[in-house]
Amino acid sequence: MVPLALALDPRSSTPLHRQLYEEIRAAVLGGRLSAGARLPSTRALAADLDISRNTVASAFDQLLAEGYIAGRPGAGTFVAKELPDDLLRVSPRAPAPTGAGAPAPELSRRGRMLAATPVAPAARDGASASAFRPGIPALDAFPRDLWARLAARLYRQSRFDLFSYGDPAGHPPLRRAIAEYLRAARGVNCHWEQVIVTSGSQQALDLAARVLLDPGDTAWVEEPGYFGARGAWMAAGIRCVPVPVDAEGLSLAQGELSAPQARMAYVSPSHQYPLGVTMSLARRMALLAWARRRSAWIAEDDYDSEFRYAGRPLAALQGLDTGGRVIYIGTFSKVLFPALRLGYMVVPAGAMDAFAAARALADRHPPGPSQALVAEFLAEGHFARHIRRMRTLYAERQAALVSAARRECAGLLEVSPADAGMHLVAWLPTGSSDGEASRRAAAAGVSAPPLSAYYHAGAARPGLLLGYSSVNRRKIHEGARRLAAAMIN
């Protein structure tokens, strides 16, 4: 018989039988009670602990049912020889260490590759609003009251369709609204049934790789380019070959030279990320011809096309495609807000079932209430109005950044206005290190990612990305001053 030092707290809100169960279970898992050890009888333990025998019996029943202890008729109760979660020999009281200090468990090859793949840093407290983090919309100008009213109305309705399991391709009214918007605003050629609502562009990129390519296949990615695309495709086992971007967009000639066997190309033709080049019509036609000739796919990331400040917006590449080779990808992250995690993709009608199945297997479907809210936001005209307001605001913020940077950072940085987007590239003197400049800026509280970080094989010219859309005029001026001071010291 083993002596048991069990600490029960009669004042605790946890019932005594549960406390006893947890104490004995912890003793078994922690090795204080070894396999095969005999436990006191229910009568003895009850007397020992000054609790009722029923309480002890109830704890024993639970431990018996879960396999921690075993009873032999006439012989008493013993700790089980084979423990149910034998591998979980940790004290349930001591929380496992988390973060950098946690011991690394053995990972699969894929797990190790995923761990080594760069991901975008999360926006920490307040960092989204700090100058000059790129890619964040004006969260300070989002119509939160309107959004809250629409949400309250929606949640009060008995819309059980929205609260239950939904269509893996997305809420049909939202898919209809997206198709209508894309046809009118982006010249996308689609029926609403080709639209899939995704968890941002990120999921669309992941689905495109997993449904259309096989592990080991090769794809072209823009150089410099969006690491979200390269990361998602690498995670899907795709060999990503960087293809330089020139003044007309992705260099097809270079792509054919370095990876003629490519089966898919990632492009951001409206506004190349991060350089801001708009793909020329000639390059668009040549890229489409390549895709047809090679039976390859083009993933068109149209992430911020809504924000064009001069000239007419160029229609999407997808609208020029007669061969059904373009997967069009868009997001609400820039027009509404990133945490909404809603985006969309337009896929060839014949591939719809495969995409819907892949989506359902990954995470079933997008969240119903959020989709319905966005559908109403679009249907009631708020979306178009919000884009118009943001276009004006971002043009003002961009102008404020150009003038502040020219005034504060003269001789240190070179910035020019751009026709589109949410960030500018500020060029540094040739031969300087943009990594070093970015580190100094960060130390001064300014977020300005180095252009070299977007290159796979080495940057051509040093520069910093300066996002302006989320930063108000005061912070733009303050940020430019801090940036200049960081670069002079």
Q: Are 464 and 441 in contact (CB under 8 A)?
A: yes
Q: How far is the CB of 233 from ligand PLP (least distance, A)?
A: 13
Q: How far is the CB of 106 from ligand PLP (least distance, A)?
A: 30
Q: How far is the CB of 111 from ligand PLP (least distance, A)?
A: 22
Closest CA to 220 of 254, 247, 269: 254
Report which DSSP code applies to 243.
E
- When the beta carbons of 202 and 469 are compared against ligand PLP, the nearer one is 202
Label residues 467-487 b or e (16+ Cβ within 10 Å = b): bbbbbbeebbbbbbbbbbebb
Q: How far is the CB of 395 from ligand PLP (least distance, A)?
A: 19
Separation of alpha carbons 301 and 282, rounded Å: 19
- When the beta carbons of 192 and 226 are compared against ligand PLP, the nearer one is 226
Q: How far is the CB of 310 from ligand PLP (least distance, A)?
A: 21
- When the beta carbons of 40 and 269 are compared against ligand PLP, the nearer one is 269
- H helices, E strands: number in the chain: 16, 13
Q: How far is the CB of 271 from ligand PLP (least distance, A)?
A: 9
- When the beta carbons of 423 and 440 are compared against ligand PLP, the nearer one is 423
* Cα-based torsion angle of the residue sequence 366, 370, 372, 378 in order, rounded to the nearest 10 degrees: -110
- When the beta carbons of 386 and 440 are compared against ligand PLP, the nearer one is 386
Q: Which residues pair with 465 in a beta bridge?
A: 425
- When the beta carbons of 271 and 477 are compared against ligand PLP, the nearer one is 271
Q: How far is the CB of 334 from ligand PLP (least distance, A)?
A: 7
Q: How far is the CB of 26 from ligand PLP (least distance, A)?
A: 43
Q: Which residue is nearest to ligand PLP (CB)?
A: 200
Q: Which helix (H) or strand (E) holds 393?
A: helix 382-408
- When the beta carbons of 27 and 211 are compared against ligand PLP, the nearer one is 211
Q: Are 190 and 179 in contact (CB under 8 A)?
A: yes
Q: Are 392 and 466 in contact (CB under 8 A)?
A: no
Q: Return the sign of the alpha-carbon dihedral for residues 374, 320, 273, 225.
A: positive
Q: Which residues bind ligand PLP (CB under 6 A)?
A: 135, 200-202, 226, 228, 268, 273, 301, 303, 331, 333, 338, 343
- When the beta carbons of 62 and 268 are compared against ligand PLP, the nearer one is 268
Separation of alpha carbons 302 and 204, rounded Å: 12
Structure tokens at 8: 């029960």
Separation of alpha carbons 260 and 252, rounded Å: 10
